[in-house]
Amino acid sequence: MRLKRYAFFSIVLIILISFYVFTFEGGSYTIELFSIPVNLPIAIWVAIALLFIFVSSFFHMAFYSFKYYWKEKSVEKDKKNFVNFIKELVLNGKSDISFKCNDSFGYVANILKSFNLTPKFDYKSDIEEIEKLVIDLKSIKNGENIDLKCYKLDKNNCHNIENLKNQISQNLQKAVEILRKSGDYGEDVLQFAYKKVAQDGVEKDVRNYLNSINITKEIFYILMNRAKELHLTNSDIYETSNKAGCSTDDFIQLAVKLKSILNPNEMIALFEYISNKNEDAIEAYLYTLLNFEMIDKAKEILDASLKSDYLKIKAYLELKEQNKHYPLELFI
C-alpha cells in the first residue's frame, strides 16, 4: 500500500515539475542516442530524468519491502513451528521440527529438548492451540475419553493409551473389542481391557479371553471376588493362581477373601485341591482348617511337616491347647 502511494504522489510530482518547467522554459534540447538525434522539449527531458529517479527508487524500496515482508513471513512461520514444537514435545517427548529462519527459536528449542515438558492444567494460554492441548490433556487425566485424531499420535503414545484406557473404563464393549483384536494392542492395554471384563463382563467373555493375556495378581483377585458368580471350579482357580504366580502370602490373602464368598465345604475342598498341587498353598489350607475348627486335620498336616515349618500355626495351636485364645489372623 505504501508503494502505491509513493508511486501515485511521485507521478503527480513529476507532472507538476514538468509543467512548471514548461511554463518558464518552452524550448527544446537535442541529445544524440546511438548516433540518432533526439529532440524533445526541455520539460520532457526533466520528466524523463525524474521518471528514471522514480523507477530506481521504486525498485529499491520494493526490494527492501519484499525482503522485510519475507522476513516477517519467515518469523511467523517459525512462530507456528515453535508452537508445533512445544505440542510435539509435550505429547511425544521429542520433536524433529527445525527453525531455519530464526536462530533464536532454534536455540531455545535445543534447550527445551533436554527437559520433559508437563503442562500446568490451571494455566490459561493466549495461544489457542496450546490452550486446547492443555484442556485435552487435563480431560484425559480426569478420566474422560476425547478425540485425539487431530494430534496424529502413534498408537503406543502414552497419552493415546491413557485415553484408550478411559474409553475402556467407560465402555465394557470396547474392552471386549480390544481383546478380540489382541494383536493390535500392547500387553498393558490388553491387561487393562481384561481387568474391565473381569470386573463387569459376562462369564463367557471372562473365560474366552482368560488365556489371551498374562494374568496379574490384581486381575487374579478381581476374578476371585466373582468366583461364585463366574462358576470358577477348583481347577480354574488353581490354574489362574499359577498364571498369576501366587505366593504363600497370596494364598493366605485369598483364603481370607473367600471366607465371605464360599461356604466352609467349598473353602476346604478348594484349598485341599490347590495345596496338593502347590505346596505354597499349604499354609492357606491350614488357616482354612483352623478357621473352621478342623483342628485334628490341621494337626495331621503339621505332624508330617518339618519342625521348622509353619511355626506361627504351631504356636497358635500350642496357645489354644493352653486355653489361651487369640485371633487366628494374628498368626498368618
Q: In this predicted model, what pLDDT tens digit does every residue of 10-19 receive, in sequence order?
A: 888 888 887 7
pLDDT at 223 over 80: yes
The pLDDT of residue 29 is 64
pLDDT at 72 over 80: no
**Most confident range, picked from 21-35, 94-108, 284-298:** 284-298
- CA end-to-end distance (rounded Å), the chain: 89
The pLDDT of residue 243 is 94
> Dihedrals φ, ψ of 123, to 5°?
-95, 135
The pLDDT of residue 207 is 94
Cell numbers at 89, concatenated: 514435545
Residue 41: in which H helix or E strand, if any? Answer: strand 36-41
The pLDDT of residue 163 is 94
Residues pairing with 29 in the sheet? 40
pLDDT at 142 over 70: yes
CA-wise closest residue to 292 among 315, 319, 262:
262
The pLDDT of residue 242 is 94
Using 50, 70 and 90 to split pLDDT, how confident is the model at 59?
confident
Q: C-alpha angle with apex 78: 77 to 84, nearest 5 degrees?
A: 95
- Give yes or no for a contact between 275 and 281, defined as CB atoms under 8 angstroms apart: yes
Region of poorest pLDDT, from 36-45, 120-129, 245-254: 36-45
Q: C-alpha angle with apex 125: 124 to 130, nearest 5 degrees?
A: 120
Rounded to two decimals, the pTM is 0.72
The pLDDT of residue 307 is 83
What is the distance between the alpha carbons of residues 95 and 151, in angstroms, rounded to a whole number?
A: 13
The pLDDT of residue 80 is 83
| pLDDT tens digit sequence for 155-197 | 888 899 999 999 999 999 999 999 999 888 999 999 999 999 9
pLDDT at 275 over 80: yes
Q: Which residue has the higher pLDDT, 320 or 145?
A: 145
| 144 CB-near residues (< 8 Å, 6+ apart) | 166
pLDDT at 266 over 60: yes
The pLDDT of residue 216 is 94
Query: What is Dmax (Cα atoms) for the chain?
Result: 144
Q: Which residue has the higher pLDDT, 1 or 37?
A: 37
The pLDDT of residue 22 is 75
- Give yes or no for a contact between 124 and 132, defined as CB atoms under 8 angstroms apart: no
pLDDT at 1 over 60: no
